[in-house]
């Protein structure tokens, strides 16, 4: 009878299921909850700082974009520029509003004209104490063009625009101590009745510091010459570029270079585009806090390896492979960092919400910031747990049990 040749078979360690990996990886966290909380706190602070910085910046930008959408980006302003000849002043034609209104694509037009007078609370206030308030003649259609709102009283019309009536910008009203329509101010050589106070005008801040009187009243009572100093117009969105190229030639066909055309919404657009540019420093500080948190996690894992040498040696003597020891401690590091990352995301979102509520901003937390912040914590957790895991896997079972 022939004997069978027995060949030795190499034993292979059983594979750990994901459930087993999660169980052994969280064992150290369950046994030392206070250390887990303190270690995760550094990660949480770093992530919360980054989420809050990005969230507050995004909320401010969203508010600007909403304001731009409400105010529109289709308004242009034409003003006298610098003359080619020194000492020669440039004036817009008296019928500038009508000329602009005839341009294809223009939907609304209005104008203001500078009046060489000062407005004061009463005649006893010295003339040179103007408070930085200018006096402007205003056309009836101006308010619609700038999309302004009257907070108190009403706007100039054909009736009150012929008489001593004035509308104050909200800054002018505050400086003059006028709280509501119906009061009077001294303008020129007589009292004018305040018929309205405007709300803030983001696209026309120069009107916030002005006293606006009717066109006809300015000519009758204040010596206004009838020449506008600024023409405001709104066109359809598709024709803004064409209208801009036609404004100067329409107002001054012989010398169009003397007319300056500006887009008031450009400042808000630039501000929205630059929003968050100054948050780089705070993001850097958040990143440093996150790195410090990662160092804390690595330190915690190294101490955990030293304290659990008996557990490591026992598992190795019962057949656990080095790879299983490594995955145990890397999993524990990932769970520790992930816990801190989750807490940081919640804290950052809450901080953004509180700031937005206090400042009246829309609450915006970009998903990329949440995902990026949490993914960063996982990367840091992996790196922080790699060395302790390798060190634990290299422990000799005999020496580990003997040292214990």
> In which band, very low, low, confident or very high, does the pLDDT at 229 lie, cut at 50, 70 and 90?
very high
The radius of gyration of the chain's CA atoms, rounded to the nearest angstrom, is 36
374 or 289, which is more confident? 374
Mean pLDDT, range 334-351, rounded to an integer: 89
Sort strands 190-198 and 259-262 into parallel, antiparallel or unpaired: unpaired
> For the residues of 205-223, what is the DSSP string, one character each?
GGGGGEEEEEHHHHHHHS-
| 36-67 pLDDT per residue, tens | 787 788 888 888 888 888 888 888 878 777 77
d(CA 83, CA 182): 42
> In which band, very low, low, confident or very high, does the pLDDT at 137 lie, cut at 50, 70 and 90?
very high
CB 189 within 8 A of CB 227: no
> In which band, very low, low, confident or very high, does the pLDDT at 77 lie, cut at 50, 70 and 90?
very high
Mean pLDDT, range 218-239, rounded to an integer: 92
> In which band, very low, low, confident or very high, does the pLDDT at 275 lie, cut at 50, 70 and 90?
low
Q: Token digits for 96?
A: 């500038």
> In which band, very low, low, confident or very high, does the pLDDT at 8 lie, cut at 50, 70 and 90?
low
d(CA 19, CA 293): 27
| 147-162 pLDDT per residue, tens | 899 999 999 999 899 9
CB 145 within 8 A of CB 108: yes
> In which band, very low, low, confident or very high, does the pLDDT at 167 lie, cut at 50, 70 and 90?
very high
> For the residues of 227-284, what is the DSSP string, one character each?
--SEEEEEE-GGGHHHHHHHHHHHH-SS-GGGEEEE-THHHHHHHHHHTTGGGHHHHH
d(CA 106, CA 240): 9
Q: How far is CA 120 from CA 40, 115, 189, 315, in A?
A: 63, 14, 11, 89
Burial of 98 (0-12, 13-18, 19+ CB in 10 A): exposed
pLDDT above 60 for 200: yes
> In which band, very low, low, confident or very high, does the pLDDT at 178 lie, cut at 50, 70 and 90?
very high
Q: Which pLDDT belongs to residue 176?
A: 93
Of all residues in the chain, what percent carry a pLDDT higher than 70?
86
Tell me the whole-structure pTM to 2 decimals: 0.64
Closest CA to 198 of 186, 190, 209: 209
CB count within 10 Å of CB 288 equals: 12
296 or 226, which is more confident? 226
| 97-106 pLDDT per residue, tens | 999 999 999 9
Q: Which pLDDT belongs to residue 402?
A: 58
Q: How far is CA 321 from CA 29, 107, 108, in A?
A: 22, 79, 80
């Amino acid at each position: 009878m022939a004997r069978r040749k027995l060949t030795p078979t190499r034993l292979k360690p059983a594979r750990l299921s994901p459930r087993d990996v999660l169980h052994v990886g969280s064992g150290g966290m369950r046994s030392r909850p206070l250390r887990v909380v303190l270690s995760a706190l550094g990660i949480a602070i770093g992530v919360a700082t980054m989420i809050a910085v990005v969230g507050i910046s995004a909320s401010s930008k969203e508010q600007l974009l909403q304001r731009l959408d409400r105010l529109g980006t289709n308004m242009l302003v034409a003003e006298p520029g610098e003359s080619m000849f020194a000492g020669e002043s440039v004036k817009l034609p008296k019928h500038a509003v009508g000329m602009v209104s005839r341009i294809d694509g223009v939907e609304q037009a209005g104008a203001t004209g500078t009046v060489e007078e000062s407005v004061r609370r009463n005649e006893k206030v010295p003339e040179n104490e103007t408070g930085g308030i200018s006096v402007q003649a205003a056309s009836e259609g101006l308010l619609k063009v700038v999309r302004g709102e009257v907070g108190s009283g009403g706007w100039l019309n054909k009736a009150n625009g012929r008489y001593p009536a004035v509308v104050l910008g909200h800054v002018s009203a505050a400086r003059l101590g006028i709280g509501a329509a119906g009061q009077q101010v001294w303008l020129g050589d007589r009292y004018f009745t305040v018929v309205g106070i405007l709300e803030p005008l983001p696209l026309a801040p120069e009107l916030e510091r002005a006293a606006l009187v009717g066109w006809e009243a300015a000519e009758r009572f204040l010596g206004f010459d009838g020449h506008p100093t600024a023409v405001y117009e709104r066109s359809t969105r598709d024709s803004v570029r064409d209208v801009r190229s036609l404004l100067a030639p329409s107002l001054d066909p012989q010398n169009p270079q003397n007319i300056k055309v500006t887009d008031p919404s450009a400042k808000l657009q630039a501000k929205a585009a630059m929003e968050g540019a100054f948050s780089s420093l705070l993001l850097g500080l958040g990143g440093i806090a996150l790195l410090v948190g990662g160092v804390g996690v690595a330190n915690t894992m190294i101490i955990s390896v030293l304290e659990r040498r008996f557990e490591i040696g026992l598992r190795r003597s019962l057949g656990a492979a080095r790879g299983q020891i490594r995955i145990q401690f890397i999993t524990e590091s990932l769970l520790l960092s992930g816990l801190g990352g989750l807490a940081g995301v919640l804290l950052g979102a809450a901080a953004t919400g509180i700031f937005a509520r206090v400042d009246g901003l829309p609450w915006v937390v970009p998903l990329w910031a949440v995902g990026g912040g949490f993914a960063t914590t996982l990367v840091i957790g992996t790196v922080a747990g790699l060395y302790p895991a390798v060190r634990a896997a290299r422990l000799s079972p005999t020496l580990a049990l003997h040292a214990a």
